[in-house]
Structure 1
Amino acid sequence: MATASSMQQPALLLRQLTQDPVTASLLAAALATAVLMIAAVSRGGGRKPRLPPSPRGFPVIGHLHLVRPPVHRTFHDLAARLGPLMHIRLGSTHCVVASSAGVAAELIRAHEGKISERPLTAVARQFAYGDDGFAFAPYGPHWRSMKRLCMSELLGPRTVEQLRPVRRAGLVSLLQSVLHRASGAEAVDLTAALIRLSNTSIIRMMASTVPGSVTEEAQALVKAVAELVGAFNVEDYIAVCRGWDLQGLRRRAADVHRRFDALLEEMIRHKEEAREARKMRGGAEGETPEKKTATGTTTESSKDLLDILLDKLEDDAAAEVKLTRKKIKAFVIVSSCRCVY
């Protein structure tokens, strides 16, 4: 289901699209075609599906016109009129909204598999390398395997505790910067500062042992991914607009994905070379990497998330669902969408 920020953009988007005569003509033709198709289908009769109560909508756009900021207030007002379970159509996308804890719990019990899945939008598909991304993967063996990996290792208590110094360093740096500017009576943009903190923390937790991993380019790529995935894309909601890329979002996403992929390949290659060098030194000197902390080797306590994923890549040769290089890169890129913008 769309995020609150992405659902607040349809009105602004429609104004931007209609300013260009060519785009406006194409959009008008698409809407006219959609209306004719809907009319033809409705005349064909047939048994209608049983759906929860729904507010009055329009052809093509459905209830997009009702989704106004703040979105949670909109759903609250609709639930007060229609009940705790309602049907909302965002363009061509049908959604069921549960507005009470009891109804939501019942839906999860009865449809856990479907609720666990997330819609794979046109932009998200590029960043997730198709179905390789865990966050947007269909419910199945791959999804369950990655969930176990996240819960037991990537986001487990031990890893969270190991990465505490990384998060603390970012917070200390932010506070020092704010105090320095405050002492000079300078204005501080806390929103921008917190976004920067989120970006740098994600990069450091992913690749803290890669020299120069926190660069301006890396932070810009993390920010771009979050913005593109959260943007309202008309082709995700209006079926007849799919494949047209009217807003140029897929084109921009392809460019960001290409640059991010190159950055990740460089990080992974650096780690692979360091791992191979450690193995050679360990074999020559008869020591394990964990014993050689004085020589700068990676120990269990200094591993970042990328180290853990590469360990799994080497160890899971006989696993039911094997971790691949693409799945690792998809995990890193999609994880950057967790930032709040």
Structure 2
Amino acid sequence: MTDIQCYSFLIFFVSLISTLLIRSIFFSKPNNSTAGLHLPPTPPALPIIGHLHLLTPSLYKSFHRLSTKYGPLPYLHIGASQCLLVSSASVAAEIFKTHDLAFASRPIFAFVDKLPYGTSGFATAPYGDYWRFMKKLCRSRAVRCEEIERLLRRVSERKDGVVDVGAELMRYTNNVTCRMVMSSRCSEEEGEAERVRELVKESIELAAKMSYGDVLGPLKKLGFWVYGKQAMDVNRRFDELLEKVLKEHEERGNRDDWGEKEGKDLMDMLLEVCQESDSR
């Protein structure tokens, strides 16, 4: 970029931010989605960024301070996004059990329309018939029990008594996911399981970067503009890996344990559903 282009871009960016700041301070209107509602306590917010200034890299410490001061359910503005901070076991039970249907859906990501599968993915599907159907297929109680036993055994066998809880829980989650999808543990050091583990890690890091766009209001698609090419590349590598796993499952589709539910992984179940005449 030439100097003139750089200066022009800087002037445009400063003007845009100034306009948004002035409008938020002097011309702000009540939010139609929250007008008339009796909302939980909320800390004082700053224009545009909301409560972002109250959050530190140690999020759990920031959340603890907020819940201590404003109760078990503070109402926060994270930039242009609104959220509830649940920091009480009793309130969590109300949300996830008593009123679970009201909280079953999730916000639509700003960039979801740019993804190859849109809202058909596990992380982007809205609550509905498709969501409930996929949830039934994703039951993995037997796998989770086995992996919990492995986790507890591995922790108890540590001679030095030092355990990285975060790393162990991440390993447990990855192993459950990989075993559920393709009957392999992601902690194994070779094969598709290791590739899945690396792709999942890269996807989580990339999604965290792109999700920052959701707090930018009118500029919420900026995240995909910056990281879109990388996101499409990760999606392509996922497709290549899953295509290989799919072919392997198709080749062994007539194996003896197909009749046993515990002997199937998610890929087996999806193939079986596709072959049923009444599947949708």
- Regarding TM over 0.5, the answer is yes
**Alignment check: 8 A CA contact 2:137 2:269 kept:** no
Structure 2 Cα separation of the partners of residues 191 and 110 of structure 1 = 29
Higher RCO (Cα < 8 Å, 6 or more apart): 1
In the alignment, does 2:21 pair up with 1:35? yes
- Out of 182, 190, 207, the residue aligned to residue 207 of structure 1 is 182
SS of alignment partner, residue 248 of structure 2: helix
RMSD: 4.5
Shift of 1:36: 3.6
Instruction: Map 1:121-270 to 2 at 5 A.
Output: 121-122=109-110, 129-150=117-138, 154-157=139-142, 164=146, 199=174, 202-208=177-183, 213-214=191-192, 217-231=195-209, 233-245=211-223, 248-270=226-248
Aligned length: 264
Shift of 1:63: 0.4
SS of alignment partner, residue 223 of structure 2: coil
Shift of 1:216: 5.2
Q: CA offsets, 1:229-274, max 9 Å, x none?
A: 3346331111122222378333311110111112112221232243
In the alignment, does 2:69 pair up with 1:81? yes
**Alignment check: 8 A CA contact 2:203 2:234 kept:** yes
**Alignment check: 8 A CA contact 1:128 1:136 kept:** no
SS of alignment partner, residue 88 of structure 1: strand
Gaps of 5+ in 2: 1-5, 185-189
Shift of 1:202: 3.9
In the alignment, what sits opposite 1:330?
none
Return the TM-score normalized by structure 1: 0.60
In the alignment, what sits opposite 1:318?
278
Gaps of 5+ in 1: 1-19, 173-177, 183-188, 279-288, 291-296, 323-341
Structure 2 Cα separation of the partners of residues 45 and 194 of structure 1 = 39
Instruction: Map 1:66-77 to 2 at 5 A.
Output: 66-77=54-65
Structure 1 Cα separation of the partners of residues 89 and 22 of structure 2 = 40
Shift of 1:221: 1.5
SS of alignment partner, residue 95 of structure 1: strand
Distance 1:54 1:147, change over 3 A: same
Distance 1:35 1:102, change over 3 A: same
Residue type of the alignment partner of 1:268 = L
- Out of 103, 108, 113, the residue aligned to residue 101 of structure 2 is 113
**Alignment check: 8 A CA contact 2:25 2:47 kept:** no
What fraction of aligned residue pairs are identical, expressed as a percent? 32
Structure 2 Cα separation of the partners of residues 126 and 196 of structure 1 = 30
Structure 2 Cα separation of the partners of residues 22 and 216 of structure 1 = 47
**Alignment check: 8 A CA contact 1:126 1:257 kept:** no
Structure 2 Cα separation of the partners of residues 223 and 23 of structure 1 = 34
Distance 1:215 1:49, change over 3 A: same
